[in-house]
Amino acid sequence: MIDEEPQVAGPDVPPPWGARGNTLWVMFVNWLTSLPAAVLVVGGLLLALLVAAGARVGVRALVPVAERDRVPQIATPLMPTLGAAFAIFAALSLASEAGYLRAAEGLVSDEAAATSRLAWAATSPQVQSEPIHAALLDYLRTTRADEWKGAEAASGDDPATARAIARLERTVRAEAARPGVGTPTGTELVGSLDAVTSSRRARVAAAARDVPSLYVVTLVVSGLALIVNSGALVFRSSLRTSLLIVGVAGVVGLSLALLFALSAPWSGPFIVSGHPLDAIIGDLKSGFFNGGS
């Protein structure tokens, strides 16, 4: 018997549909999270209002006349359950994304603390601080300009930032290895540099995070179910009376908009503040770490 060699998919073999579908979904969600806040709010409200109007019209068109009296009997008991389910899902999802935004801000603060530590370590006796401070300033400026939002923040492979951090690595390690620099000082320089690169890597990893699909699907489905059920309750009412469900639709639409706005701290409407790093840039330019000279 001749053993058949396993077939390995080459670069031209398309991925399975499941993988492609998941990729398309992630791309769609990432596109949503990158939209401006105003667009998300208007889009969420329009979607919710269209679903409410469609539910009202759809019940009239689909439910037979003989069974229309049963619609309120079925829809009314479902309202508390659907409302509570949506409230729970919305609270969990929004709390999770808000916590992620706070964690992202904490990562930026940690990175600023690491760069400050390196800047102070460069002022140790026998250390030539000017080359290190210049390389650190160039790295921070490049990071804020080219690696702070969008695809560059998530990939971490921006060429300008890569050159800046390589220059910083060479400068600090060369200074730490100079014969005139003692072992404790050299160790502090290298340790501070490692803290800078580690904090940057943590920031890049956090920026590469995608919105959990289950959060989105669960919240959208529960919100739409609540709106549809509300529309079913007023399908016999006049147009003015039906406007009462606008409040429910508005809450659902705004909740969805807020979820997408909070979910992408490096590419969405609420970009993580770079003020901690900007403060270090200002201190390096003013000579603060050299005693203001």
Which H, E and C letters describe 194-244, residue by residue? HHHHHHHHHHHHHHCCCCCHHHHHHHHHHHHHHHHHHHHHCCCCCHHHHHH
Burial 245-277 (b: 16+ CB within 10 A, else e): beebbebbbebbbbbbbbbbbbbbbeebebebb
Q: What is the pLDDT of residue 267?
A: 81
Q: Taking 70 as the threshold, does the pLDDT of residue 2 lie above it?
A: no
Q: What is the pLDDT of residue 210?
A: 76
Q: What is the pLDDT of residue 292?
A: 58
Closest by Cα among 57, 42, 90 to 242: 57
pLDDT band at 214 (very low <50, low <70, confident <90, very high): confident
Q: Taking 90 as the threshold, does the pLDDT of residue 134 lie above it?
A: yes
As a whole number, the mean pLDDT across the chain is 85
pLDDT tens-digit series, residues 229-283: 888 887 777 666 667 788 888 899 999 898 888 888 888 788 889 999 999 999 9
Stretch among 23-32, 37-46, 95-104, 223-232 having the lowest mean pLDDT: 23-32
